[in-house]
């Protein structure tokens, strides 16, 4: 069931989104050759705790479910490197010069979630890797710009896919964007490609969405590693991932995972 949030509820999500944006900025400031993924995760969790937020990912089992054990996600960040698309588990690996590092962060404030992701190039990277990152970021903003009241969910995916098609990038299809609120993953699902049929549900004010394109330098097929979480490209191609949580207002989409004043799709600083 798709829910529409009140202004007061969106304000709580804005606070969670701000924490996510702060975490991503903190990780960017610490991301350099030699730092471990585990160290970045530690810094992120410490910052969330200092703000009174709870990590959305730690202990996550799916849907609205949390717990302990081998099926629960064990960290506060998802850190995915090079051909890892999403859901990479932070460990003792050292980040190396020339790698692409995708950071996905989620925070809960007063029971409401924010979710965001960015791919960072560590030092000098190949031109094709930088172009992939730039295109995935552009696709995110194109998808957000399409999330206008009266449009359909399918318009978001079409706008994202158009960016990929223009550069012949692969578009990951098994993992998509989603609604968000008191659960990290809510309806509706938001594909990063054209949907069949009439384009799906009409976009309405009060809806809150996490839009997250995932592009690759190769094909769109992916596999899940033995840890049960880490998603990798089947052909070993590099991948990039960007995500914002947005709220649909009467005036259009507002980005919640940002620091400072409300940001809209035309704001190139986000």
Q: Express each pLDDT in 122-170 by its tens digit.
A: 998 999 999 999 999 999 999 999 999 999 999 999 999 999 999 999 9
Q: What is the pLDDT of residue 63?
A: 83
**164 within domain boundaries:** yes
**270 within domain boundaries:** no
Contact 246, 116 (CB under 8 A): no
Interatomic CA distance for residues 70 and 167, integer angstroms: 39
Q: What is the pLDDT of residue 187?
A: 96
Across 53-59, average pLDDT: 97
Query: Would you say residue 261 has pLDDT above 70?
Result: no
Tens digits of per-residue pLDDT, 100-127? 999 999 999 999 999 999 999 999 899 9
Other C-beta atoms lying within 10 Å of the C-beta of residue 124? 9
Question: In this structure, what DSSP letter does residue 218 have?
Answer: S
Q: What is the pLDDT of residue 260?
A: 67
Query: What does the block give as tokens for 148?
Result: 């206008």
Query: Would you say residue 215 has pLDDT above 90?
Result: yes
* Total tally of structural domains belonging to the chain: 1
Contact 266, 145 (CB under 8 A): yes
Q: What is the pLDDT of residue 259?
A: 85
Across 15-28, average pLDDT: 97
Query: Which residues fall within 8 angstroms of residue 52, CB to CB, at 6 or more apart?
Result: 109
Across 235-253, average pLDDT: 98
**50 within domain boundaries:** yes
**85 within domain boundaries:** yes
Looking at 196-205, 218-227, 232-241, which range is the least confident one? 196-205
CATH number at residue 145: 3.90.230.10
**265 within domain boundaries:** no
Expressed as residue numbers, the domain containing 65 is 7-258
- Residue 269's pLDDT band, with cuts at 50, 70 and 90, is very low
**182 within domain boundaries:** yes
Query: Which residues fall within 8 angstroms of residue 134, CB to CB, at 6 or more apart?
Result: none
Query: Would you say residue 263 has pLDDT above 50?
Result: no
Q: What is the pLDDT of residue 197?
A: 76
Across 20-39, average pLDDT: 97
Q: What is the pLDDT of residue 1?
A: 84
**110 within domain boundaries:** yes
Sign for the CA dihedral angle at 133, 135, 136, 138 comes to positive
Q: How far is CA 131 from CA 5, 71, 86, 120, 242, in A?
A: 36, 35, 19, 12, 14
Q: What is the pLDDT of residue 270?
A: 45
**235 within domain boundaries:** yes
């Amino acid at each position: 069931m798709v829910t529409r949030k009140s202004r007061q509820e969106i304000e709580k999500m804005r606070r969670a989104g701000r924490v996510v944006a702060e975490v991503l900025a903190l990780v960017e400031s610490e991301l350099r050759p030699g730092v471990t993924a585990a160290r970045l995760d530690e810094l992120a969790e410490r910052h969330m705790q200092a703000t009174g937020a709870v990590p959305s990912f730690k202990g996550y089992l799916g849907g609205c479910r949390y717990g302990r054990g081998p099926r629960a996600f064990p960290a506060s960040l998802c850190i995915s490197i090079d051909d890892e698309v999403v859901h990479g588990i932070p460990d003792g690996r050292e980040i190396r010069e020339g790698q692409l590092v995708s950071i996905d962060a989620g925070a809960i404030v007063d029971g409401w979630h924010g979710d965001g992701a960015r791919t960072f190039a560590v030092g000098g990277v190949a031109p094709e890797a930088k172009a992939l990152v730039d295109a995935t970021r552009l696709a995110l903003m194109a998808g957000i710009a399409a999330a206008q009241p009266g449009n359909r969910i399918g318009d978001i995916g079409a706008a994202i896919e158009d960016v990929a098609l223009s550069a012949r990038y692969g578009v990951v299809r098994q993992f998509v964007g989603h609604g968000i609120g008191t659960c990290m993953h809510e309806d509706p699902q938001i594909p990063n490609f054209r949907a069949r049929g009439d384009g799906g549900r009409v976009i309405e004010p009060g809806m809150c969405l996490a839009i997250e394109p995932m592009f690759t330098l190769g094909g769109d097929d992916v596999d899940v590693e033995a840890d049960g979480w880490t998603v990798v490209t089947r052909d070993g191609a590099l991948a990039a991932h960007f995500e914002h949580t947005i709220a649909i207002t009467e005036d259009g989409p507002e980005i919640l995972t940002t620091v400072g004043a409300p940001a809209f799709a035309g704001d190139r600083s986000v």
